[in-house]
Chain A
Amino acid sequence: MDLKHVSKVALIGLAAAGLLLTAGCQQKKEVVSSSSASTHAVKHQADKPSANSVYFAFDSSDIDSSSKTLLDAYAAWLNSNSVKTTIEGNCDERGSREYNLALGQRRADSVKDYLKAQGVSASRIDTVSFGEEKPECTGTGEACWAQNRRAEILPR
């Protein structure tokens, strides 16, 4: 009878010790995971988007819904990183070059305004216009022109 009692106690003791140990481990694990969770969360929520251009309709600087999605991602990235960016506004080849400088500028400013509205500080966003001087695509026709009517978000 004595042995059974001892082994029972021993088992209970072992179990308790085990629990304590694991509890402690768990705690540790939690501590570890919570600290890495903060850095980990940043990594997950704010990668720099791979795409770097939003596109515009002819003679327009309005930001459409697909652009908004991309810009939201950029806002997130900017908000959680100490990075600066330059927005470069561009146009297609139609119309006069001088006017297109101003149109490209408006597109860049339009993107900047949107990002500012998402909480990004204005001092971290620069805007430049290249008008029609730096086309992505050098052909003619809408397929090409659509590619050129863009604002590029570039790290500085």
Chain B
Amino acid sequence: MRLLLLLLLITSPTTLFAVEFDVYQSGYRPLNIALVVKSSDEQQSKKQQLYSVVKNDLLSSQSFKTLDPLSFIADTESTLKQIDYADWRIIGADLVTTCQLTEVDQKWQAEVMVYDPFRSKQLASKTFIRDANKFRVLSHQVSNFIYKTVIGVHGHFNSHILFVKKHGDKSDLIYMDQDGANRQTVGKNFTLLLSPDWDPNGRFVALNTYVGNRPRLETFDMTTGKRSAFGSFKGLNSTPEYSPDGRYIAAALSYTGNTEIHIYDVKKGTWRQFTRHPGIDTTPTWSPDGEWIAFTSNRNGSPQIYRKRLSGGKAERISLEASYNTSPVWAPHGDRIAFITLKNWEYALATVHIDGTGLRYLATGKRIESPSWSPNGQMLLYSAGNRGLRRTYRIPAWGGKAEPITPANIDASDPAWSR
């Protein structure tokens, strides 16, 4: 009998009373990371190079702060042999990354480990090997690995950036690594060069230029330097953007009598009309699943952002505030669109959810233009500047500081981040 009672008591519900509450994120804060790199004595310069490339990458994301090596309590050797977590907790490290650099048959090998000193455990480890002439690529791989482990999203550190440098009446197309290294002129002396767009494979660039005093659309092969026109209709040919699978290019043409969005089939070489509405429809951008195109339209009086299915149907308006919203660019992860908006009397870079909610202002500036997403959707590029020289800036998509990535003495506009 008593046993039965006991049984009844045991089976009675147990976790009934629990306090429940919400914890809200109050902003973004970088994590403190200690970067420990080791190499043999003869390879100090390579060690320094890797260290500075990785440090710069992590800092540029504004998600990390690198701790000053002078503040380290533990030395490199002992940390690599057997990490003492307490030594790192004391100096406030949220993360410790060690990297052992060795040269193996004309190749460089980097053995990377990421530790969480707070929970005293290793989070991940990986070894990377690259040819000697790809040392920077190797370094960026290390950055990507740290980023993915800690942020949970792919790093963008082996990506590249194009921008337009105007000098006098002519414009050049400039290419560089996302950290500014390897800057080179890949296209020279265009008469007006606007809105370059990378193809997803990174080989071609679709661009808008003027030849014989007429605008046209061209694809530019970065490996051969060959240019080939794919849109030279009467009137306007502008704002090209490749589809996510690279099979199509959407653009704005006006030969039908007013500016509309048309889609070019790259393989077939044919065009089809996408929007049909009096008024201006321009600056198309593709959703990452290729099912939608968002664009600017003044069909309701002022320029606003709309989206329409590739399969047809009515255009839906996305932008809900302000009297002027243009230049939409769909985020690679699909849930937001970056665009230029009029905020009070200034133009601003902003992002918004596809349904129009969650409006977030990121930056204002004179002549703020041309947003472009990093491949992982974490950062945005844009250009801005007073009369005179424009600069290209980079800002985290979640907020943070805008940082210039082009020098102050050249005119840099129309940035395009590779995919």
Query: Are B280 and A106 in contact (CB-based, < 8 A)?
Result: yes
Complex: how many Å from CA A68 to CA B166? 36
Task: Name the distance in Å between B179's Cβ and chain A's nearest Cβ.
Answer: 27
**Residues of A close to B195: CB separation below 8 A:** 98
Q: Does B303 contact A (CB under 8 A)?
A: yes
Within the assembled complex, what's the spacing in Å between the Cα atoms of A128 and B192? 13
Annotate A95-113 by CB proximity to B: 1 below 8 A, 0 otherwise. 1111101110110110000
B282 near A128 (CB under 8 angstroms)? Answer: no
CA separation between A95 and B327, bound complex, in Å? 10
- Once A105-B236, A106-B280 are accepted as A-B contacts, the answer to whether A98 and B387 lie under 8 Å apart by CB is no
- B296 interface contact, C-beta 8 A: yes
A126 within 8 A of B: yes
A109–B280 CA distance with the chains assembled, in angstroms: 12
Known: A95-B324, A102-B280, A106-B280. A129 touches B387 (CB 8 A): no
Q: Is B100 an interface residue (CB 8 A)?
A: no
Contact A105 B234 (CB under 8 A): no
Query: In the complex, what distance in Å separates the CA atom of A128 from the CA atom of B238?
Result: 12
Asked if A138 is an interface residue, CB under 8 A from chain B, the answer is yes
Interface contact B254-A98, CB-CB below 8 Å: no
A129–B194 touching, CB < 8 Å: no
* B interface residues, how many (CB within 8 angstroms): 31
CB neighbours (8 Å) of A129 from chain B are 215, 235-236, 254
Nearest-neighbor residue (CB-CB) of A126 within chain B: B234
In contact, A127 and B280 (Cβ under 8 angstroms): no
Closest chain A CB from B295 CB (angstroms) = 11
Q: Chain B, 204-230, contact with A by CB distance < 8 Å: what is the 0/1 string?
A: 000000000111000000000000000
B258 touches A96 (CB 8 A): no
Task: Return the contact of A98 from the options B192, B213, B238 (Cβ within 8 A).
Answer: B238
Q: Which residues of B contact A97 (CB under 8 A)?
A: 194, 369-370
Residue of B nearest to A101 (CB): B238
Partner of B326, one of A93, A96, A127: A96
Is A140's beta carbon under 8 Å from chain B? Answer: yes
Of the residues B213, B257, B282, B370, contact of A101 by C-beta under 8 Å: B282
Could you pull out 24 A-B pairs where Cβ atoms are within 8 angstroms?
Answer: A93-B387, A95-B303, A95-B324, A96-B347, A96-B369, A98-B195, A98-B238, A98-B282, A98-B326, A98-B370, A99-B280, A99-B296, A99-B326, A101-B239, A101-B282, A102-B254, A105-B254, A106-B259, A109-B254, A127-B234, A128-B235, A129-B254, A138-B387, A139-B387
User: 4 new A-B pairs (CB below 8 Å) besides A101-B252, A106-B259?
Assistant: A98-B282, A99-B327, A101-B236, A106-B258
* 9 closest Cβ pairs, A-B complex: A102-B259, A105-B236, A96-B326, A102-B280, A102-B282, A99-B326, A96-B327, A101-B238, A98-B283
